[in-house]
């Protein structure tokens, strides 16, 4: 086989894969739900739990949005100041001085117990403080719409679920953020069969974002709570898997109208944030190679083929490139993301993602991953 013929076949395979993913994306979005505010107020106590470590820039907005919830007359908001050194706790306390719904719990700046990572330990301590029959875990860099909690509780109860995992709208400003952050939503919206995942108890059919999670308290405790994922770098996905292993149903939903989050505000934070966790995303090095290889085949090879030799090959490659762009575009449009010109850079987004994945593995193998001043080592 000549090199040109081999390249043409590779482009064709990549294009077919991209078209298949685009078709699945379009079909999948028909099953993507967006919870909405119920007609009546929530009739049970709800605890909104916010772990915060050195979040002085965002904690005020997060707490204000939690306290501004409507149709939740029995609301309990608890902030854990997890050893912050930047005044996070004082800012949180001052946000709503005198509001009896808010409590700020202060913890010393100490390493988590053996076997625990920082965020699962913080969430577990918050759950111990909570008094609601529903727990809403919320990151300190998230802002909620005023009807977010009521909508999530209604979705949880009306569908008989134990967990609802809404994906907030992902805000991105810097160049690397704009390349990578849209993949947070696109990846599962394009690939995970949502209708099947909600009906199934298969742990592998799990997609969750720890920025916001709503859970039934009794089911949470029965599934082991965050203790079941104490050493998980991706504790959000791990928690949904723990729920399913315990026999509870969970659902991934569109939370773009309910919450917003800017995960990282600098290029360095993007690199460090993904560096600490991507190595754990695909069940080991073989899974990482397989997933990244498939993404490069489907979205980078056709883009390269557009510039390569052979008129027929270029035409096939153009179809693959447009399929990749189309898949990104329909997800962005459906979930309130930026469409143009960002979706046109889908091949560059995949290249950036694959590079971050390789960097994550390098740092993990060298024991160099740290976050907020603490080492990130699963199961330590």
Q: By CB neighbour count within 10 A (0-12 exposed, 13-18 middle, 19+ buried), where does 162 fall?
A: buried
Residue 378 located in a structural domain? no
Kindly state whether residues 131 and 210 are assigned to the same domain: yes
Kindly state whether residues 110 and 26 are assigned to the same domain: no
Residue 325 located in a structural domain? yes
* C-alpha dihedral sign at 103, 104, 107, 111: positive
Kindly state whether residues 215 and 283 are assigned to the same domain: no
Which among 236, 265, 294 is the end of a domain? 265
Beta bridge pairs of residue 47? 76, 135
Please work out, in degrees rounded to the nearest 5, the angle formed at the alpha carbon of residue 144 by the alpha carbons of 143 and 145: 130
Kindly state whether residues 256 and 236 are assigned to the same domain: yes
Kindly state whether residues 223 and 163 are assigned to the same domain: yes
**Per-residue pLDDT, 363:** 93
Which among 265, 291, 317 is the end of a domain? 265
Kindly state whether residues 226 and 354 are assigned to the same domain: no
- Which pair of tokens denotes residue 332? 């962005």
Residue 215 located in a structural domain? yes
Kindly state whether residues 85 and 14 are assigned to the same domain: no
Kindly state whether residues 363 and 261 are assigned to the same domain: no
Rounded to two decimals, the pTM is 0.95
Kindly state whether residues 26 and 93 are assigned to the same domain: no
**Per-residue pLDDT, 64:** 97
Residue 348 located in a structural domain? yes
Kindly state whether residues 334 and 224 are assigned to the same domain: no
Kindly state whether residues 67 and 202 are assigned to the same domain: yes
Residue 170 located in a structural domain? yes
Phi and psi angles of residue 274, each rounded to the nearest 5 degrees, phi first:
-75, -30
Residue 40 located in a structural domain? yes
Q: How many residues does the chain have?
A: 380
Name the pLDDT band for 315 (thresholds 50, 70, 90). very high
Show the DSSP H helices in the chain as ranges: 3-28, 59-67, 88-95, 118-129, 148-158, 175-180, 182-191, 194-199, 217-222, 235-245, 267-277, 285-295, 301-306, 311-334, 346-366
Phi and psi angles of residue 245, each rounded to the nearest 5 degrees, phi first:
-65, -30
Helix (H, G, I), strand (E, B) or coil at 88: helix
Residue 379 located in a structural domain? no
- The pLDDT tens digits of the residues spanning 79-109 come to 999 999 999 999 999 988 789 999 999 999 8
Do residues 254 and 33 lie in contact, with contact meaning Cβ atoms separated by under 8 Å?
yes
Beta bridge pairs of residue 164? 214, 251
**What is the domain extent for residue 215?**
33-265
CA distance 220 to 229: 12
- The pLDDT tens digits of the residues spanning 166-193 come to 999 999 999 999 999 999 999 999 999 9
Which among 226, 250, 265 is the end of a domain? 265
Look at the chain and report how many structural domains it folds into. Answer: 2
Kindly state whether residues 244 and 322 are assigned to the same domain: no
Q: CATH code at 111? A: 3.90.550.10
Q: What is the mean pLDDT of the chain?
A: 95
Q: By CB neighbour count within 10 A (0-12 exposed, 13-18 middle, 19+ buried), where does 341 fall?
A: exposed
| CB count in 10 Å sphere of residue 2 | 7
Name the pLDDT band for 1 (thresholds 50, 70, 90). low
């Amino acid at each position: 086989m000549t090199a040109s013929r081999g390249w043409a076949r590779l482009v064709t395979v990549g294009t077919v894969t991209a078209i298949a993913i685009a078709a699945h994306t379009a079909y999948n979005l028909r099953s993507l739900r967006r919870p909405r505010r119920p007609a009546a107020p929530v009739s049970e106590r709800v605890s909104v739990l916010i772990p915060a470590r050195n979040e002085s820039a965002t904690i005020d907005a997060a707490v204000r949005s939690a306290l501004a919830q409507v149709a939740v007359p029995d609301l309990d908001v608890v902030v854990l100041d997890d050893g912050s050194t930047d005044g996070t706790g004082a800012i949180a306390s001052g946000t709503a001085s005198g509001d009896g719904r808010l409590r700020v719990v202060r913890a010393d700046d100490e390493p988590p117990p053996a076997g625990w990572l920082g965020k699962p330990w913080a969430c577990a301590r918050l759950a111990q403080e909570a008094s609601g029959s529903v727990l809403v875990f919320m990151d300190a860099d998230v802002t909620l719409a005023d009807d977010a909690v009521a909508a999530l509780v209604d979705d949880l109860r009306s569908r008989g679920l134990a967990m609802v995992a809404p994906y907030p709208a992902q805000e991105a400003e810097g160049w690397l953020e704009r390349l990578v952050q849209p993949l947070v939503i696109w990846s599962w919206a394009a690939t995970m069969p949502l209708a099947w995942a909600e009906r199934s108890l298969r742990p592998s059919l799990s997609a969750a974002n720890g920025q916001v999670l709503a859970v039934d308290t009794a089911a949470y405790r029965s599934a082991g709570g965050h203790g079941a994922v104490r050493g998980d770098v991706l504790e959000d996905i791990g928690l949904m898997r723990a729920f399913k292993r315990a026999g509870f149903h969970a659902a991934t939903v569109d939370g773009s109208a309910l919450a917003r989050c800017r995960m990282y505000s600098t290029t360095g934070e993007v690199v460090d944030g993904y560096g600490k966790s991507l190595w754990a995303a695909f069940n080991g090095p073989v899974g990482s190679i397989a997933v990244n290889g498939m993404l490069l085949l489907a979205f980078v090879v056709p883009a390269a083929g557009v510039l390569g030799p052979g008129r027929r090959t270029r035409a096939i490659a153009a179809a693959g490139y447009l399929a990749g762009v189309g898949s990104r575009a329909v997800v962005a449009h459906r979930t309130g993301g930026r469409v143009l010109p960002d979706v046109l850079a889908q091949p560059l987004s995949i290249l950036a993602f694959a590079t971050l994945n390789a960097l994550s593995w390098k740092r993990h193998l060298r024991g160099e991953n740290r976050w907020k001043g603490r080492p990130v080592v699963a199961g330590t």
